[in-house]
Amino acid sequence: MKISTLIVVAALIGLCLAAPPSAEEMGMTPDEWSNWVYSQYGVYGMRPSRAANLVGMILFIILWAIQGALALYYRQWWFGGAFFCGICLEFLGYLGRFLSTWDLQNLNEFILQIVCLTLAPAFIMAGVYCLLAKFVVIYGESYSRVAPLVYTLIFVACDLISIVIQAVGGGISATALYDNKSTDDGTHIMVAGMAFQVFTMSIFFIMTTDFLWRVHKGIRNPNVADSRANDPEIIAIRESPKMKYFVIATYIAFGFVFTRSVYRVVELAEGWYGNLLQHEAYLLVLDGLMMLIAITILTVFYPGFVWGRTHINAGAVKHSKSEKNEFQDVQQEHYPEQQEYPEQRDDGSYGKETESSV
């Protein structure tokens, strides 16, 4: 085992041991122990690591700047905008934790970090969701069970619902915390919002896998025409090795965000003073590190690196093959001088026989 690995493991063990002793160890009743923990560790129930949260701030602000620059250069407005907001929330979350190390009883900083870190992945997933619709346009609508626009509408709508539910729950919990009342009601609403987010992500994974499996096996709907699959630009994108790596990278990044989301559901289900929240190592690894890796992957494998500034209209609708052929007939009649696109065969292929690979 490498020395660096041992250092990381030792640091994580140290963070776990930094949690306060239990009521049994202190010889206190639960109420006495809760009062003691609050007096010593404030609303966190432990002392956040100043160094670890500072590192989180620095890394996320670097990714924020890179993602912003890439979005502007490649004109990836939806993907870039979603990631821009999500990474900004990650930065603000760790900023709140960093500032809290000087005042553990500051409610504003505590609420800032818990709300921002809870909402951030929903914005990251909003960017990822739009990629499936673009995959459909690139590989062809005839492989898909629904139109690209339907994927976008379904998952973005569900994502927005999740964000609203979590925000409402966070607001209720914050108000209760300020009034020194129970935060359980707001926490339960936040957990419901995050659970809905995990459910949406699961459906997204299933539908994405189904589509790519159909591409891999060449399973097309012969009654559906592809809108741009035979465009030279799209063919070049589809046949580029970068596209295959990008699809794989998207899957891996999704896995890290999904892991983080499941952890957060379990964490908040215990309440704001649960065991997981009182051990910062869990948050740093299963939340911060997971999001950091996911965002880094989709920064290294940025969509613009694959299709440049090519505008891939994910709002395209599915057309029947007869409608497509009618359009081509009219185009040839009125504009015979224009280059003819190859006719789509019954199996949905164009021109020369080629194998689709993902």
Render pLDDT for 264-322 as a digit per residue (tens, 0 to 9).
Answer: 999 988 877 677 877 888 999 999 999 999 999 999 999 999 998 888 876 554 444 54
Establish how many alpha carbons lie within 13 A of residue 16's alpha carbon, considering only the half-sphere containing its beta carbon.
Answer: 8
Tokens matching residue 36: 């003691």
Q: Look at residue 10 in the predicted model and tell me its pLDDT.
A: 45
Q: Calculate ∠ Cα 84-175-179, nearest 5°.
A: 145
Euclidean distance between CA atoms 57 and 90, whole angstroms: 8
Tokens matching residue 28: 């206190």
Q: Look at residue 264 in the predicted model and tell me its pLDDT.
A: 92
Tokens matching residue 202: 């699961």
Euclidean distance between CA atoms 111 and 171, whole angstroms: 9
Establish how many alpha carbons lie within 13 A of residue 44's alpha carbon, considering only the half-sphere containing its beta carbon.
Answer: 28
State the residue for tokens 């194998």: 355
Report the DSSP beta bridge partners of residue 224.
320
Q: Which residues contact 155 (CB under 8 A, 6 or more apart)?
A: 129, 132, 200, 203, 204
Q: Does an H or E element contain 20, and which?
A: none
Q: Look at residue 20 in the predicted model and tell me its pLDDT.
A: 62
Looking at 44-48, 49-53, 75-79, which range is the least confident one? 44-48
Neighbours of 18 (CB within 10 A): 15
Query: Global pTM?
Result: 0.79
Residues 96-121 have a mean pLDDT of: 90
Residues 171-195 have a mean pLDDT of: 87
| Residue pair 107/177 in contact by the 8 Å Cβ criterion | yes
Residues 153-160 have a mean pLDDT of: 93
Q: Does 180 have pLDDT greater than 50?
A: yes
Q: Calculate ∠ Cα 191-188-32, nearest 5°.
A: 115
Q: Look at residue 33 in the predicted model and tell me its pLDDT.
A: 55
Q: Does 144 have pLDDT greater than 70?
A: yes
State the residue for tokens 């009654």: 223
State the residue for tokens 């790596």: 245
Amino acid at the residue 330: V
Euclidean distance between CA atoms 160 and 197, whole angstroms: 10
Residues 131-140 have a mean pLDDT of: 92
Q: Does 56 have pLDDT greater than 90?
A: yes
Looking at 11-20, 72-81, 163-172, 221-230, which range is the least confident one? 11-20
| pLDDT per position as a tens digit, 76-100 | 989 999 999 999 999 999 999 999 9
Q: Look at residue 106 in the predicted model and tell me its pLDDT.
A: 84
Q: Does 251 have pLDDT greater than 70?
A: yes
State the residue for tokens 């465009």: 231
